[in-house]
Amino acid sequence: MKFSNFLFPESKTPADDFRVIEESLDEAVLTDELGFDAVWLAEHHFDGGCVYVDPVTFAAAIAARTKKIKIGFAVAQMALHHPIRFAEQIALIDNISRGRMIVGVGRGTAYNFYEFRGYGIDPDEAHERLLEVEDILIESWTTENYKHVGKYWQVELPVLRPQVYQKPHPPIIRACSGLESTLEMAREGRPFLMNLQSDQTTKERMDLYRSTMFEAGFDEEAVARCVADSWVWRNIFVADTDAEAEAIAVPHFRAMRAYLSDNRARMNTEEERAAQAAAVTGAARDSIDHGLIFGSPETVRQRLEEVDKIGVGGIIIHFRLGAMPYAANEHSLRLFAEEVAPHFREPDTDSN
């Protein structure tokens, strides 16, 4: 089971932006030094919920400051990107990082309607735009004299430069918020990113994902490979004791969820708020029991053993919850890397 750090830094006021951005860069470097497998970047606009807003630009900064860690998006909102510009940017960062990019893509937020309005995009078009952009990305990275005439994009280019470092192209992983989109990835033989869910829901979806791949004709090796390349999201905080972890993590988790809700109430229109209220967001996102793992290293390790039994490829871990002080977050990261993660690593067979 692989472990990664989801950099999703909240900044409540413009005056905090510079500090939180600097702290997030430091956190990425620390994550690399501690031996995590990947660092993931989000994309949200206009509300301070994700202070760096642009994962592509931030990925370039991280690529220049780190050495080994994979850099992924969880996710880039493809409805908000020009596909050729995005393809060029990814190709450049793939070269800067010497092949460390993971291109996590999604339709974009289902509830922050103000993000789409800010870009002049109809949110009802988001899923179709995602599908079209995925096709363009792969073809632009692998095809010369490429021409595409689609519903949203008409492009023609002789060859994309620079070429991507990874061949034939960096891995593309789609985020799946619901069961049907997860099973769609299974039928196509593709890995996926799962949003925050309870352990029970995670197990049910992983079991159905595997069985659907087998039903679609994929063999055990292909299924194992896709599972290994799939990731699930968890919020985790580690402290020296259970009591200390609870005292720090729970208030910041609740404040983070409240800040997100307040932003939507303030920035969405009345009609958009009605549409949001009609949607099902999933209980795990707001639940202390299902949406947050916290405790001493031993307690967190025991909780993660339940996730490990499910058989997931990796965990996208959101460590810094909301406006949590950086010092507390840094201590949590170090405890996890030094006292939790080693229990889930494969033994070094070369040592004998």
Q: Are 114 and 268 in contact (CB under 8 A)?
A: yes
Burial of 29 (0-12, 13-18, 19+ CB in 10 A): middle
What pLDDT score was predicted for residue 303? 97
Distance CA 306, CA 319 (A): 19
Q: What is the pLDDT along the chain (352 residues), one digit of tens a residue?
A: 999 999 999 999 999 999 999 999 999 999 999 999 999 999 999 999 999 999 999 999 999 999 999 999 999 999 999 999 999 999 999 999 999 999 999 998 888 999 999 999 999 999 999 999 999 999 999 999 999 999 999 999 999 999 999 999 999 999 998 999 999 999 999 999 999 999 999 999 999 999 999 999 999 999 999 999 999 999 999 999 999 999 999 999 999 999 999 999 999 999 999 887 766 555 788 889 999 999 999 999 999 999 999 999 999 999 999 999 999 999 999 999 999 999 998 765 444 4
Structure tokens at 11: 């900044």
Distance CA 306, CA 309 (A): 5
Q: In angstroms, what CA-CA distances link 87 with 61, 109, 115, 178, 298?
A: 17, 21, 22, 27, 43
Burial of 265 (0-12, 13-18, 19+ CB in 10 A): exposed
Could you tell me which residues are beta bridge partners of residue 232? 194, 315
What pLDDT score was predicted for residue 109? 87
Query: Residue 160 phi/psi, 5° resolution?
Result: -85, 130
Report which residue type is found at 177.
S
Distance CA 203, CA 306 (A): 10
CA dihedral 241, 242, 246, 252 (to 10 degrees): 60
Distance CA 288, CA 254 (A): 8
Structure tokens at 216: 């679609």
Distance CA 176, CA 184 (A): 9
Domain 2-345 CATH superfamily:
Luciferase-like domain (3.20.20.30)
DSSP 102: E
Nearest CA among 171, 174, 124 for reference residue 151? 124
Q: In angstroms, what CA-CA distances link 178 with 174, 175, 305?
A: 12, 9, 24
Distance CA 185, CA 30 (A): 33
Could you tell me which residues are beta bridge partners of residue 105? 76, 174
Domain ranges of the chain: 2-345
pTM of the model: 0.95
Distance CA 325, CA 252 (A): 10
Q: Are 168 and 94 in contact (CB under 8 A)?
A: no
What pLDDT score was predicted for residue 48? 97
Query: Under DSSP, is residue 88 helix (H, G, I), strand (E, B) or coil?
Result: helix
Residue 199: which residues within 8 A CB-CB, separation 6 or more? Answer: 290, 306, 307, 310
DSSP 351: G
Distance CA 92, CA 107 (A): 23
Strands 314-318 and 293-295: unpaired
- Is the omega angle on the peptide bond into residue 158 within 30 degrees of 0, that is, cis? no
Nearest CA among 159, 153, 166 for reference residue 139? 159
